A and B are shown apart, each in its own frame.
Chain A
Amino acid sequence: MENVLIEKVLTRNIGPDQTPTDMAAYEANGGYRALHKVMAGMTPNDCLEVVKASNLRGRGGAGFPTGMKWSFVPMGEKCTPGHKYLVTNADEMEPGTFKDRLLMECDPHQLIEGMILAAYTIEADRSYIFIRGEYVVAIERLEQALVDCYKKGYLGENILGSGYDLEMHVHTSAGRYICGEETALINALEGKRANPRAKPPFPQVSGLWGRPTIVNNVETLCNIPHIIDRGAEWFQSLGIGEDSGTKMFGASGHVKNPGCWELPMGTPIREILEQHAGGMTDGRKLKGFLPGGGSTDFLVEEHLDLPMDYGSIGAAGSRMGTGTMIILDDKTCPVGMVLNLIRFFAHESCGFCTPCREGLPWTRQVLEDIEAGRGRKEDLDTLVRQVKYIGSMGNTHCALAPGAMEPLQSALKYFQSDFEAHVEQGCCPYAADMKAQDITTVQGERA
């Protein structure tokens, strides 16, 4: 059941068949109108004020207010001479996250227009799309879109006669989840190993090549043309609760209709799962879910009526993260699911600091033992201790390790009896169900 009243903004050019939107189609539907408006007479500060007033918050996971982030960039005379950079974070490797791919594959110009406007606002003259190498279709379409933009005079020197110059490049990454962390991303762009940098200095002041740099998520930047075009008040009115705008929400796992939908910020979780995702597949019940990717805390059935916005999900002990939910059902082992996530994080640790590099493999080992039926009762206490040490912000150099602990700490809280059952029975109580799925359901239920 589609709600006809929902206004599509980010996906207004994205139909069910997901045909890519080219320059002509993009412009025919109001594309680059904001760019013309700005180049015809808005100052960078005018743009900044609109974005600030819109209350747009970063869609990369942390929800930091975008206007405030941009306001830390030294401007005009206050900035030492040299380049400034605007970088799109298109690394999208957070497990269970699949929204930026759709936005880039189906409407590359929307991102590019957002980037030009953002770059203009911070007076950047160089910009990069840092995109994971596996996104070959998105890379191809973005590169074509860049060529079209240079031809039209939307990029390059003296954009639309305004005197403003901007270069834009696609940088394809060579892998590793840690590249999504913004200071690690900057090191990767400099051709180095992607270890995160110490903050301060913050990238807004000293980022790429020591110059002021803004890193924003794809979805964040896709909002900018609409905010500039239609104003801060309009953008605020799109959200149902305190937060502004729309959001790309998604659901994966054993739901009838897994997918990604643009809905008002603050849409109740139940509506996303039941109306849009179609509810659980037959024979399975909801056991829990990660609201926004692999490094967010589990929520459970009692949270279904919460609105998906930063404050509400935060108050419930989790994070909205990327907004793409991973659904755990009653036939899938929660210990196994957490083990899968910890394996991922242990593998993706950049190795820079000890709690993460040594701690995560230890956690993985403990979980492997429990899942395989070799666990002892003390192991559960060990896990609690590990959560405390590895998960405390400040014990590690970046947020990867604390993020890794979020699904574990909440699983210990909500699914404690499952952990205990593994230890008491000396095996995984879900083994039979999981084996059955390997043989049948993959073919059966997912057309």
Chain B
Amino acid sequence: MTSARPKIDFDAKIPNNVDLASDRKLQRALERWQPNFLDWWGDMGPAVDTKDVYLRTAVDVGREGWAHFDHVPMNEYRWGVFLSEHDPDRKIAFGEHKGEPVWQEVPGEYRADLQRLIVIQGDTEPASVEQQRFLGATAPSLYDMRNLFQVNVEEGRHLWAMVYLLHAYFGRAGREEADQLLARNSGSDDSPRILGAFNEETPDWLSFYMFTYFTDRDGKYQLGTLKESGFDPLSRTCEFMLKEEAHHMFVGTTGIDRVVTRTAQLMNEHDSEEVAGAGGIPLEMIQKYINFHYTVSLDLFGNESSTNAANYFTAGLKGRWQEERRKDDHVLTDDAGAVDAVRDGRITTTEVPALLALNQDLRSEYMGDCSNGLKRWNRILQKHGIDAQLYLPHVGFNRQVGAFAGQRISPDGKMISEEEWTANEGRWLPTDVDKTHVRGLMHPVLEPGKIASWIAPPTNGINDKPVDFEYVHFN
């Protein structure tokens, strides 16, 4: 079958280290997929009309200089395909295939499971772009707008990375799944994104920072477990994605830093916690946003006790966080683990085989990581002489998935009645009034170096550029 479409110069258009120029299978798949991707980007990507944006583009995988910075029109962004460097001696580190060489092809036995894992991961990447589509219009600075777009193009590239795996290793079924990744859309009634959390619009910049801090961090942990996979191309893809993901979390961490800083400044200026009237976001409101985004992200880890996770582990498809640094047999058939449970109206734990407790294991790692941010933000408050503290709510608070789903648990971890919940919900989670206030603060600031009232300026610019650099050009 021949196609009338002009040939794409793959290496020029698509930076890669997978020898795209000589891979007919990939070329054919991408020839069809790439135009659809560009259409999707046009329809669902950032809605702000820009001329070009100061973006980093992945151009290599080496330790030094893997990325290139320049002003580029966003629809000419070169979404590349990169796998981290190949280790010919790599062995499967866990499960029943432990010690065997990693797979360079999909083992037919695990095709369905691997495809599912990749599709679920792949579905989240474009979802966040869709969720953040309108945020650019209210960016608090050009610096922030640029960061948003940087995150967006890289989530687009993460989609490419997953699509690459589907195209290269899963045959026709993989191509069909790759098409579906563009056909599902965040918040769509007909064909929503697979995971619930990715169907909520990101309505304001506080939510965006929270999302990149908490929800992107879930992505980091999922990628971390897939990086351990016995399917080497998946492992290498995820390892490289983690490099980019670090910047996304940096955007979240420093974003919240700056909101807290600004709030602390306003509290001191007005000698009051009530900074809403002064164009700030009160600490209490920040806490509510933390409560919400943290707990929604906890749900993404699934049930405490999971046979799927156990099967993935045993099969060698998905390991644990830092699998190779762990000091156990990496097979876990004889070990036990404790998972959260609610019994007789009390929060407790149940002992289950360790293999079944892997979701909880990953969630615990994640929770530990999240608490670092809280320490940072509380140090900022301290430096400003403020005694109040931000905190992470109890793991059982506001949960929709797993052992705590359907339970009423306060942020400090007490089982409470439905009445008590209803009476206090507005103190713990963002209310409509809160959301309206935050949204009311969202006015674009497009002048280089200027910043919105509710957030402090960044301490440094991007890639050693000054903070007042013209990160975005408009038409």
Do the two chains belong together in a single complex? no
